[in-house]
Amino acid sequence: MKVLIVLAIFGCSTLLVNADQAKKAIVFLQSTAGVVGNVTLSQPSCTEPVFIEVSVIGLTPGKHGFHIHEKGDLSDGCASTGGHYNPDKVSHGAPNDQVRHVGDLGNILADEHGIAKTSFSDTVVSLYGSRSVLGRGIVIHAEIDDLGKTNHPDSLKTGNAGGRVACGVIGVL
Ligand SMILES: [Cu+2]
Ligand SMILES: [Zn+2]
């Protein structure tokens, strides 16, 4: 219900957008840590979930925090993408939590060869309206995102996911 209200307020209306026009985006990842890959986002209309596909190689095996950050600014590498995209100014959380940053997409899992290939849907991230993530950044972290569930002082801010090993800008496809 909360999501529906938010969508109504922030522009998911046939008065404001063409609900039949699917939007697609691509992220070409850049890295100084040998990570190579891309992420695509697609959303058939503003009332439907966004579908996210991740294809990455060169990671260390295990889970890596995976977020949409506020800025699509790579002028200082991944460091200049700002914090997690968080227009509601709430605490960090898991993708399925009621309270989470819009950008909180949890973790991606790299296999023993450092390959992460996955896809999932998200109902909070949108490619439409004033809360669109188009032009913002995607960041893959060195460590696991604790999803706001530990006692670490950064848990409810960043998930304590460590350094930034790859990033890119969410561009119109
Ligand atoms: Cu992040
Ligand atoms: Zn977050």
21 band by pLDDT with thresholds 50, 70 and 90:
confident
Q: pLDDT for 57-103, tens place per residue? A: 999 999 999 999 999 999 999 999 999 999 999 999 999 999 999 99
Which segments of the chain are extended strands (E)?
A: 23-28, 36-43, 50-57, 62-69, 75-78, 104-110, 116-122, 137-141, 164-169, 171-172
Q: Tell me whether residue 15 is in a domain.
A: no
Q: Tell me whether residue 18 is in a domain.
A: no
- Give the residue from 134, 133, 125, 127 showing the smallest Cα distance to 45: 127
CA 90 to each of CA 36, 62, 104, 109, 156: distance values in angstroms, whole numbers, following the listed order: 32, 28, 11, 26, 9
**CATH number of the domain encompassing residue 162:** 2.60.40.200
CA of 163 to the centre of ligand 2 (A): 14
Q: Tell me whether residue 6 is in a domain.
A: no
Q: Tell me whether residue 139 is in a domain.
A: yes
For the question of residue 84 being annotated catalytic, the response is: yes
Q: pLDDT for 116-171, tens place per residue? A: 999 999 999 999 999 999 999 999 999 999 999 999 999 999 999 999 999 999 99
Among candidate residues 69, 100, 131, 136, the one labeled active-site is 69
Among candidate residues 100, 141, 145, 146, the one labeled active-site is 141
CA of 102 to the centre of ligand 2 (A): 8
Q: Tell me whether residue 3 is in a domain.
A: no
State the total domains in the chain: 1
For the question of residue 67 being annotated catalytic, the response is: yes
CA of 163 to the centre of ligand 1 (A): 9
Among candidate residues 64, 73, 100, 101, the one labeled active-site is 101
Q: Tell me whether residue 5 is in a domain.
A: no
For the question of residue 104 being annotated catalytic, the response is: yes
Q: pLDDT for 48-70, tens place per residue? A: 999 999 999 999 999 999 999 99
Ligand nearest the Cα of residue 142 is 1
Domain membership of residue 152 as a residue range: 23-172
Q: Tell me whether residue 97 is in a domain.
A: yes
Among candidate residues 64, 92, 131, 136, the one labeled active-site is 92
